[in-house]
Structure 1
Amino acid sequence: MASPNSSARVVQICRVAPSLPAASSDSPSPDLSLPLTFFDICWLRFAPVQPLYFYEISSSSSNVSTFSFDSILEKLKTSLSLTLQHFLPLAGNLTWPQDSIKPILTYVQGDTLSLTIAESNADFDRFSSNYDLLVPQEYHPLVPQLENSHERAAVMALQITLFPNRGFSIGAAIHHAVLDGLTSISFFKSWAHLCKHQGLNSSSLPDHLKPFYDRTVVQDQAGLGTLFSNQYQDIDGPNNRSLKFWEFHAPLEIRGTFKLTRASIQKLRGHVLSTVSSDANLHLTTFSLACAYMWVCLVKAEETNEDETQLILVADCRSRLDPPIPATYFGNCITPCLAVAERKGMLGGEGVVVALTAITEGMNRLGKGALNGAENWVSGMSRGRSGRVLTMAGSPRFGVYETDFGFGRPNNVDLVSIDRTGAVYISDAKIGGGGVDVALVLKKHCMDAFASLFAEGLKGN
């Protein structure tokens, strides 16, 4: 929630209940209890993920005959209630009963989701431009806090912030132990779909947006869920069943977003192909090339003295498990993928090839078994690794700019929580066309160097 002295004034805090239909085969029952899987428990005490969407609305907009924030809010609230009937756990709570080995996600009829309505006098055009540099704290008043204690944690909180005569933003705080990026974007796309098509079979979702709740499809023959639960209890323990979020405070000063157009990606791909042998079999996807280029620019900008540099990519496991599970599975189903490269190789003229080779090797290890080394996930995350470890968040495949509530594409989509984690956020490009946007938060002198290196390497595009 925004403080009284921030650039956003809280107008109202309300509770939104799911609009529960008659029982149906494609909806969970009114009362719902889901045990966390080992994929979920990994993220048990990580701080909330905070996506932020900006939408421009004006009195001259072709899709709004009368500019009325009251009518916009009513549409958003009504469609949110309809959406929650499909996503009941988002109105529920996470607890860790004394008689349960693992934490449990529960929804009981009557549970509600917190929705904050705020108003801001900040510069909407600057916030929604996407490519301006910002002080990280400028975004903070636009996202809510997530209720959280040692005994109980809310799953999601939302905030709609109105910018008079300009537009609005939708900010969220999302418990990472309940849903990953794919499930999160599925919720927002479902909400957008029901808002846009309100009045036309308004409670129905297309099949590709209907969440799949059967937890039995995630097999845990190695007992990882119990292992991870015990490891968390031993942190600051013994028998510490705390659900309190860990606090991260990265000493970062400037937030910036940089674009890689489709032409830029093609140029990087051509450079790699002209440098390596035909049998190198490197991953030449848009995502891998964007990560490699960004990684090289960042290593050069930060000027550390470490011999080794590390990048963690997060890979979706739904199609990698044996047997595969549905793409609409609700929850976490992701695995870390570590790429390691020598820093001196990254600084040379073929730095992108070195980075891409390291990424390919990491992905190939993942291909040999999505859960290889999984027993070390929690212990590794709680201890941390020596040296600078760069983490990627998001994916251009999520299609965040396809989230249209009936007011057009968002002007900007960002991830506020990278202010704390220091991760790099990658998404499909605001301008479309097959490119990507890359957002990161750095100290000012590093950001200046990164921006210069990023632009210099793309000259001619």
Structure 2
Amino acid sequence: MTDPNNSLKVVEVFRVAPQPKPGTSDSAISSGGENLTYNKDGPVSTVFQVNHELSLPLTFFDFLWIRFPPFHRLLFYEILPCSSPADALLFFHSTIFPKLKTSLSITLHHFLPLTGNITWSENSPKPTLDYVQGDTLSFTVAESDADFHHLSISHVKAAVMALQITIFPNSGGFSIGISMHHAAIDGKTLFLFLKSWAHICKHDDILLPNQFKPFYNRSVIQHPIGLQLETIYLNQFLNMDGRQNNRSLMVAAHYKSLAVPNSFRGIFEFTSANIQALRKRVTTRMKEITTKQQQERDPSVHMSTFSLTCAYTWVCLVKAQQGEEEEIKGDKIPLFISVDCRSRLAPPLPANFFGNIVTAYLTVAERKGLLGEDGFVMAIIAISEAIKGLDNGVLNGLEDLVSRLYLSDEQKSTADPRTVFTTAGSHRFDVYGTDFGWGRPRSTEVVRKNSTGAITFSDGKNGGGAVDVGVVLEKHHMEAFASLFAKGLETL
């Protein structure tokens, strides 16, 4: 929870523009000696020649998140030892910030759409990501530790990204805060950008290694039901909120209602040993509670690192919410699992595809089962069934996903928003490998505007195969969750 006694001093708000290649005009942005004109099919390479404006097509993957709340990522870094707060400020403003700002401008040269805006005009059948010559990225510099700058979103236009650098002179550190629109980029694209920025900053380079170059070509997405999903999703948004032809880009009212004031964010670690113990626990209990016929019919349970850590966290969250004086509606507890579809499409997309290729798969478990002695096993079975369903087609059964994610009126009457859980992030992003030249992050977290129900994942701060999960809860629920989380791992 943000401490009300903390203060924030905004030093300056900059607008950072992509840096053109030396010898070119602002309207000709290129890289590596290449100049490609962008068209509806996208460039084969990773660079643009821009004549005043560019429109990057959005796909049905992007449309799904068009009114979803922005995601915020924080990375905290230590400054080299300084003898006083004054020395820390001097080092930051004379060395760190100039390098970050210059390297950001160079990086945006490769990631031009990040300076643009999502728009949905009256004469356009669908939203687009637009860049107009002169568009820039908001880059705020602040002192203290308050929340960072939020994205500028209106009914007609939504910024793709905003950045804030906050210096903590008394503790000798600084943070990089990123706010991103999920309809434009997903977590994998975010870290493609951050790793590119870090590489350029650390190595004083203007070119990117091939693994960091973004791939923009939309024509490679050739799923046969893609156009069908696009039509379904757009029609549902156009008729959202009881209005016709609703092209609003504002965060949906359902998600605004989930914000819980005075809530706490917590990060909890699964060590490699914890994960192995959870895997052993599932194997043992599955043999004890299932019959031989059941084991022969369905012998495998998906026991990946994600499945194990997600199932355990899910059960702890459900148990932590018990004891409410008011009755919580619903006997079934839904969990939306984020799935990166890049490698699951045919043909598969490159890992450096720029955009949002994430969808959400729904799994449901009985509340009674999750609260029981074998709640963890019940959770892992439910998650396994959802993941196995991907083998039947990663996009099958997603026609009603908008109404599920944004809760239709019918679902609002039967579902309790406090027990609708979602996952975000990944322990495979190598978050702690994001080194701008002053060492790896000391800590990092995903922030969802104090919205309960989100379970976030990242690689563990301490390495060694550890996984960090983040949750947001009211104080008394956080205390209960922390106790359940720790005691449960101790008894494995």
**Alignment equivalent of 1:213, drawn from 216, 223, 226:** 216
Q: Residue 208 and residue 219 in structure 1: after superposition, are their counterparts in 2 closer, same or farther (change >3 A)?
A: same
Deviation digits for residues 292-323 of structure 1, max 9, x if unmatched?
Answer: 11111112111257422221110100111122
1:18 aligns with 2:48: no
Partner residue, 1:133: none
Tell me the distance in 2 between the aligned counterparts of 1:57 and 1:393: 29
Contact 1:59 1:67 in 2 (8 A): no
Tell me the distance in 2 between the aligned counterparts of 1:244 and 1:177: 12
Tell me the distance in 2 between the aligned counterparts of 1:142 and 1:271: 40
Partner residue, 1:422: 453
Partner residue, 2:490: 459
Tell me the distance in 1 between the aligned counterparts of 2:357 and 2:82: 43
Aligned-partner SS, 1:349: coil
User: Which stretches in structure 1 are left out of the alignment for 5+ residues?
Assistant: 123-140
Contact 1:19 1:85 in 2 (8 A): yes
Aligned-partner SS, 1:251: coil
Contact 1:292 1:352 in 2 (8 A): yes
Between 1:150-159 and 1:21-30, the stretch displaced more is: 21-30
After TM superposition, give the deviation of residue 60 of structure 1 in Å: 5.4
Tell me the distance in 2 between the aligned counterparts of 1:433 and 1:248: 39
Tell me the distance in 1 between the aligned counterparts of 2:250 and 2:341: 27
Partner residue, 1:51: 73
Partner residue, 1:439: 470
**Alignment equivalent of 2:164, drawn from 159, 162, 175:** 159
After TM superposition, give the deviation of residue 146 of structure 1 in Å: 1.1
Q: Residue 460 and residue 160 in structure 1: after superposition, are their counterparts in 2 closer, same or farther (change >3 A)?
A: same
Partner residue, 1:339: 363
Q: Residue 381 and residue 460 in structure 1: after superposition, are their counterparts in 2 closer, same or farther (change >3 A)?
A: closer
1:271 aligns with 2:286: no
1:238 aligns with 2:205: no
**Alignment equivalent of 2:183, drawn from 173, 177, 193:** 177
Tell me the distance in 1 between the aligned counterparts of 2:486 and 2:46: 49
Contact 1:157 1:172 in 2 (8 A): yes
1:15-164 to structure 2, matched below 5 A, reads 15-21=15-21, 23=30, 24=34, 25-30=45-50, 31-59=53-81, 67-120=91-144, 122=145, 141-164=146-169
Aligned-partner SS, 1:419: coil
After TM superposition, give the deviation of residue 379 of structure 1 in Å: 2.3
Partner residue, 1:250: 259
Contact 2:342 2:350 in 1 (8 A): yes
1:259 aligns with 2:269: yes
Between 1:438-447 and 1:71-80, the stretch displaced more is: 438-447
Contact 2:260 2:452 in 1 (8 A): no
AA in 2 matched with 1:297: C
Partner residue, 2:392: 368
Partner residue, 2:382: 358
Tell me the distance in 1 between the aligned counterparts of 2:488 and 2:58: 44
Q: Residue 108 and residue 7 in structure 1: after superposition, are their counterparts in 2 closer, same or farther (change >3 A)?
A: same
Identity of aligned residues (%): 52
Q: Residue 176 and residue 217 in structure 1: after superposition, are their counterparts in 2 closer, same or farther (change >3 A)?
A: same
Contact 1:75 1:195 in 2 (8 A): yes
After TM superposition, give the deviation of residue 203 of structure 1 in Å: 1.4
Between 1:273-282 and 1:363-372, the stretch displaced more is: 273-282
AA in 1 matched with 2:73: P
Aligned residues: 434
Contact 1:10 1:117 in 2 (8 A): yes
AA in 1 matched with 2:273: A
Aligned-partner SS, 1:319: helix
AA in 2 matched with 1:209: F
Tell me the distance in 2 between the aligned counterparts of 1:356 and 1:177: 30
**Alignment equivalent of 1:187, drawn from 190, 193, 212:** 193
After TM superposition, give the deviation of residue 231 of structure 1 in Å: 1.6
Deviation digits for residues 123-143 of structure 1, max 9, x if unmatched?
Answer: xxxxxxxxxxxxxxxxxx332
AA in 2 matched with 1:111: D
> TM-score if structure 2 supplies the norm length?
0.84
Aligned-partner SS, 1:346: helix
Tell me the distance in 2 between the aligned counterparts of 1:421 and 1:108: 37
After TM superposition, give the deviation of residue 29 of structure 1 in Å: 2.4
Max radius of gyration: which structure? 2
Contact 1:396 1:426 in 2 (8 A): yes
AA in 1 matched with 2:165: I
Deviation digits for residues 214-238 of structure 1, max 9, x if unmatched?
Answer: 1111235432223322221111321
Tell me the distance in 1 between the aligned counterparts of 2:5 and 2:124: 43
Between 1:369-378 and 1:245-254, the stretch displaced more is: 245-254
Aligned-partner SS, 2:349: coil
Contact 1:147 1:153 in 2 (8 A): yes
After TM superposition, give the deviation of residue 389 of structure 1 in Å: 1.3
- RMSD over aligned CA atoms reads 2.2
AA in 1 matched with 2:217: D
After TM superposition, give the deviation of residue 11 of structure 1 in Å: 0.7
Aligned-partner SS, 1:67: helix
Tell me the distance in 1 between the aligned counterparts of 2:350 and 2:156: 32
Tell me the distance in 1 between the aligned counterparts of 2:268 and 2:81: 31
Contact 1:90 1:155 in 2 (8 A): yes
Partner residue, 1:348: 372
AA in 2 matched with 1:115: F
Tell me the distance in 1 between the aligned counterparts of 2:143 and 2:425: 28
Tell me the distance in 1 between the aligned counterparts of 2:329 and 2:452: 22
1:294 aligns with 2:325: no
Q: Residue 339 and residue 94 in structure 1: after superposition, are their counterparts in 2 closer, same or farther (change >3 A)?
A: same
User: Which stretches in structure 2 are left out of the alignment for 5+ residues?
Assistant: 25-29, 35-44, 288-294, 323-327
After TM superposition, give the deviation of residue 249 of structure 1 in Å: 3.8
AA in 2 matched with 1:431: N
Partner residue, 1:137: none
AA in 2 matched with 1:406: G
**Alignment equivalent of 2:432, drawn from 398, 401, 407:** 401
After TM superposition, give the deviation of residue 350 of structure 1 in Å: 2.1
After TM superposition, give the deviation of residue 433 of structure 1 in Å: 0.9
Aligned-partner SS, 1:420: coil
> TM-score if structure 1 supplies the norm length?
0.89
Partner residue, 2:40: none
Contact 2:223 2:346 in 1 (8 A): no
Deviation digits for residues 184-230 of structure 1, max 9, x if unmatched?
Answer: 111111111111111xxx11212221111011112354322233222
After TM superposition, give the deviation of residue 94 of structure 1 in Å: 1.3
Tell me the distance in 2 between the aligned counterparts of 1:146 and 1:68: 25
Tell me the distance in 2 between the aligned counterparts of 1:393 and 1:150: 25
Contact 2:159 2:181 in 1 (8 A): yes
